């Protein structure tokens, strides 16, 4: 039973395309996150949703739009992909009062050509 699962695991696409990454958690958590890890392993938060409400929105280009249909799902849609978007994107979840204890998915490796 995978606790936090994200699909696809790998995504290779051309510049200018639009793509989506999906995430689901079965831990009963009420808060979900998107993190970006660059080629130097630096992990930085992008967004966080608590019960479908956006609570963290870091400085991220408008081309990135998260969507949370319910508290167990958080998707990330990226428009007009650029070379610099190539990275590993991690979904994570936690309880709202334990935001330091994140449970991560295994990541989506995005390569923009």
The first and second tokens of residue 103, run together, are 């449970």
- Quick note: the x/- pattern for another protein over 27-56, rule CB under 8 A, is ---xx--------xxxxxx--x-x----xx
Candidate residues 58, 61, 79, 82; the one interacting with another protein per rule CB under 8 A: 58
Integer Cα distance of 113 and 25 in angstroms: 30
User: What is the smallest separation between the CB atom of 29 and another protein, expressed in angstroms?
Assistant: 9
Handedness of CA 92, 75, 82, 61 (dihedral sign): negative
Neighbours of 15 (CB within 10 A): 11
Judged by CB under 8 A, does residue 104 bind another protein?
A: yes
User: What is the smallest separation between the CB atom of 83 and another protein, expressed in angstroms?
Assistant: 22
């Amino acid at each position: 039973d995978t606790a936090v699962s994200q699909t696809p695991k790998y995504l290779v696409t051309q510049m200018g395309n639009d793509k989506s990454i999906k995430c689901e958690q079965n831990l009963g958590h009420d808060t979900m996150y998107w993190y970006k890890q660059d080629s130097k392993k630096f992990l930085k938060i992008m967004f966080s949703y608590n019960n479908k409400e956006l609570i963290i929105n870091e400085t991220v280009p408008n081309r990135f739009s998260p969507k949370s249909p319910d508290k167990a799902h958080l998707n990330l849609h990226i428009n007009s992909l650029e070379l610099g978007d190539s990275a590993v994107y991690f979904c994570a979840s936690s309880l709202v009062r334990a935001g330091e204890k994140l449970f991560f998915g295994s990541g989506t490796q995005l390569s923009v050509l």
